[in-house]
Each structure stands twice: as C-alpha cells, then as structure tokens.
Structure 1
Amino acid sequence: MATYAIGDLQGCLSPLVQLLEQIQYHPEHDTLWFAGDLINRGTESLETLRFIKSLGDRVKIVLGNHDLHLLAVSHGFGKLKRGDTLAEILTARDRDELMDWLRKQPLYHYDESLNTVMTHAGIPPCWDLHKTQTLANEVENILQSDRVDDFFATMYGNTPDKWSDELTGLDRLRTITNYLTRMRFCDENSRLDLESKEGVNTAIKGYAPWFNYPTKVPHDCHIVFGHWAALEGKTQQARIHALDTGCVWGGSLTALRLEDKQRFSTPCTLNRKKT
C-alpha cells in the first residue's frame, strides 16, 4: 500500500497512464493525490477528467486555478482564453455530471498519518494548518451552495493582495482562493505578487517564493503543491515538495511516494494544443 502525490496533469492523460504503470499503481491498495489543475492546455482534458472521476475513493484532489476557471466558465462567468482546451468538456454529454463532481472537490487536504498537507499553490507564511483548513472550507462551502454564481462572478482579480482577518464577503473569498490556487511570490507580510510567474530568480524587489519565509506550519509536517512549473520540482526545502514539472510544456509528469518521499517521473508524450 502506498500513497502517491502527482503534479499538474493539465489534460495530459497518456503520460499519467504511463506513470501509473511505472509505479505499478494498484487501485485496490494504493491512493493517489492530485495537486490540482487536472485539465486545460493539454489535448486530453475531457478524457483526463473522466478518468480521475472514475477512480472514486482512492483519489484525493485539490482544486487548482484551471479547475476553478473551468467551473466559472461552465456557470457562465469568465471567458475561454487563447490556449484553453476546455471546449470539449463544456459540450460533453456528461458535462453536468463532471461539473457537479468537480465542484465538490476541496482546496485543502491533510493526512494525519502521513503528516502531509496538499494545496494547489502552497500555504502562505501567515497561515497555520488550522487557519488554512478553515479558510479553504469557506471557499468549498460557497462552491457547493446556491450562492456559487456570486462567487464565480467575482472570482477573477488580483486584489486584495494581502490577507487580513477583517476581510469579508466576496473580497475575502477571492483572496483565499488566490492564496491557495495562484500564489507564487509574496513579501515578508504575505502580500502577493500575482504577476510574476517565472523562476525563483525573477522575483521583484522585496518579494520571494512563499516557501522561503518562516512558516507557521509545524516543522515536521510536509507540504506538497503544484502550480509552479518554472520551479522544475525544486524548492531547496526538504519538507516542501513542488510537483509541477511542466508535463504540458514538454517537461515531465512527477509522482512523489509520500511514505518515503521517493520521486518517479515520466516524460511528456503529448504536444500542447497549438494556438
């Protein structure tokens, strides 16, 4: 029995199948964690979503920014962007079933036995585990409520860019969402820079990768995240594990076995949809 955390799929089902063969995944004994961004940019987004859903209870998922983008567009908010590969999902016969399943997925997952937490983008320096879970639950609750359209109508945007317990309403929900699904760089006060998207050496003055700051997460707890392909899987932090190794961009797809932290990877076998 083993638990494997896998980085951003972004619609790359064929490399996933190869990776599962490599690790000799057994659906009755092993558990898979997916760090978000299941779909978009790759050429197999619909097939990927169907496959992950079919795995049932042996899968733990957190939502990424691309997953939320798909949900927003499916609810009539936001627009498909150049390079999006979501149209096939939006016109699929099982679209409603897939969207209902996706909307019920969390933004935060913690396993006490493995002492490991997963979100799509990481955990900001200003939050501990309890606060992260509590705030993630606020967004999860709105996603599953009859107010979900209000959330999607105001989800996009880079402000507020700094957490405050005084934040309320939709501004509060947008800020939580940005920390959990879009964060890369921040300053010492956890103020976000959501414009910079490249490697660690491209931070603007006064900002650094979120994992370079002291954390409120217990020092024996491991953090796994995706989202940041430019890291190439490296954080230089022994207990903070970057899993997005850029499969959709011609890199590789990575799995981390959580029991012993051994990594496995398979090269990309697909080309991103040309735009």
Structure 2
Amino acid sequence: MAIYAIGDVQGCYNELMRLLEQVDFDPSGDKLWLAGDLVNRGPHSLEVLRFVKGLGKRAITVLGNHDLHLLAISEGNIKHKNKGHTLDSILQAKDRDELLHWLRHQPLMHHSKKHNFSMVHAGLPPQWDVPCALGHARELEKVLQGDGFHHFCVNMYGNEPSLWLDKLKGIERLRFIANCFTRIRFCDRSGKLALQEKGGPGKQSGGLTPWFSLPKRASRKDRIIFGHWSTLGYLAQENIWALDTGCLWGGELTALKLRKDKPPRPSHVKCPGAKQPGKTA
C-alpha cells in the first residue's frame, strides 16, 4: 500500500487523473491524502468532488478555504460569491445535497500516529502544538457537522480576531480556528495573523514571517503537510512539506509519496493552467 499526499486540486480533474496515472495509483490498495481546496476556480469541481467522495476510505481530505466557501454559498451566504467561482455545477447537481453533506463531514486536520505526519490546508499558529490543534479542529468540525452549521456559514468571513486567546468564544473563536486551518500564510512573532498577505516569502510587509518559520512555533518537531500557498510552491524543509504548486495557474500538480523510514518522494505533472498564471490562488 502506498500513500500519496496531493496539493490543491481546485477543480482540475484532468490534471489529477494524469498525476494518479503517473504515480500508478491503485485505488484498491493505495490511499490519497488531499490537502484541501478540492473545488473552485478550475473547470471540473463537480467531477473532482464526486471522484474523491467515490474513493470512500481510500481518500482522506482536509477542508480548505474554497471548500468552506462552497459550503457557505450553499447556505445562502451569497454576499461573498465572486464572479470567478466555478461552483454552480455542484450547486445545481442532482447529487448536490449528498456531496455537500459529505464535504461538511470532512476534517480540518488529519494526524497519523502510525506514519508520523499531520496534514492541514494552510497551517498552524505558533501557539498550537499538534494535540492542541487537533482539539481545535474537532471543535469546529462539531459545529460544521451539527446544528451550528448554518450560523457559522453565514458569519465565517473576516480577518478578525487575528490573535489567538484561550478566552475567545462564539463565532470569533470559530472564525480564528477556520482562518488558521484554511487561510494562514504569514504572522508576526506574537502569532498575529496577517491574512491580507498572499505573496511568496520575501515580499511580505516588515515584521512578518511564514507561519512555519517562527522559531518558537509549538509544532516545530512535528511533520506537517499543507497546501494553500501557490506563490510558495513546493517546499520541503524542517519537518514541513508545502504541496500547492499552482496547478490552477499553469504550474504543476504535486503528489508526495509518504514512505516509512525514508524521505517522502515528490512527483509532479505540468498543468496548462485554467486561469491566468501569475496570480495567487
């Protein structure tokens, strides 16, 4: 059995199929870990969602910001529905309700003690170690899967609060948790999120650092896989593996083969680009 972790697909179904063919993925025995953002902006979000759902237990996916965006729109939050989205095929599909029900029951964070890897879509704030992060992930997952789902979906957008405090409550606490797991790139040394910064390292405002580079990050000893950051590209350093290589923007789609007692091995397929290359995803 092989495990392949894959970065942001964002509706690029054909590229996903080419990548799986390249790595000889066997759905009867192998497993896929998907780092979130299955949907949106690419041309075949419905096909991607159906394919991953159809894999059943052979696939593990964590929720990304575009996946949450789909859920929010499905619950009537159309204020943030942008012109560039490609979600109507899902929202108008006959199996819409089944797909959305499945999506809202996916985790925000996956941790495998056996393989010594954790996976999130975007990252973790410096205050959280892996057990702490898992606890906060389950906190929001309970809301997404329960009676608080609609209330969260219509109130989830916003950049505040930007700093974690244990005393945070209600929608502010849930919004911060969601923003960390699905949107974080840069923060300052106190852990304050800078969600407006979307460029690659070296282009950020003064005083900001990539979340994974903070020297006192509580999760530094843990091996973490993430996506979300197309302007960062593939990166493997200090127990972190970044897998969003900009498939949507004409870059590549990346799979990381997780191997026991060996360094993970990346594979890439070139992508023609569903959108104009050079803009952030």
What TM bracket, shorter-length normalisation? over 0.9
Contact 1:83/1:273 (8 A) holds in 2: no
Give deviations 1:125-144, integer Å, cap 9, x for gaps.
Answer: 11001110000111100001
User: What count of residue pairs does the alignment treat as equivalent?
Assistant: 272
Q: Distance in 2 between matches of 1:109 and 1:267?
A: 27
Q: Residue in 2 aligned with 1:67?
A: 67
Matched ranges for 1:86-165 at <5 A: 86-165=87-166
Contact 2:251/2:273 (8 A) holds in 1: no
Q: Residue in 2 aligned with 1:261?
A: 264
Other structure's SS at 1:150 match: helix
Instruction: Give the 3 Å change call, closer, same or farther, for CA 169–121 of structure 1 in structure 2.
Output: same
Higher relative contact order (CA 8 A, sep 6+): 1
Matched ranges for 1:93-242 at <5 A: 93-214=94-215, 215-217=217-219, 219=221, 221-234=222-235, 237-242=237-242
Other structure's SS at 2:231 match: helix
Other structure's SS at 1:192 match: coil
Shift of 1:271: 2.4
Superposition TM-score, scaled by structure 2 size: 0.94
Q: Distance in 1 between matches of 2:94 and 2:106?
A: 21
Q: Distance in 2 between matches of 1:271 and 1:153?
A: 29
Q: List alignment gaps of at least 5 residues for structure 2.
A: none
Give deviations 1:172-201, integer Å, cap 9, x for gaps.
Answer: 000000011000000111100010101001
Q: List alignment gaps of at least 5 residues for structure 1.
A: none
Shift of 1:27: 1.1
Contact 1:42/1:273 (8 A) holds in 2: no
Identity across the alignment (%): 50
Shift of 1:272: 3.0
Give deviations 1:189-237, integer Å, cap 9, x for gaps.
Answer: 1100010101001111111100111321262x310000000001126x2
Q: Residue in 1 aligned with 2:40?
A: 40
Shift of 1:254: 0.1
Shift of 1:168: 0.4
Give deviations 1:16-69, integer Å, cap 9, x for gaps.
Answer: 101101110011211100000000010011111111111110001100000000
Give deviations 1:115-166, integer Å, cap 9, x for gaps.
Answer: 0000000122110011100001111000011121111111000000000001
Q: Residue in 1 aligned with 2:19?
A: 19
Shift of 1:269: 3.8
Contact 2:220/2:239 (8 A) holds in 1: no
Other structure's SS at 1:174 match: helix
Contact 1:85/1:273 (8 A) holds in 2: no
Letter in structure 2 aligned against 1:126: Q
Q: Distance in 1 between matches of 2:251 and 2:227?
A: 14
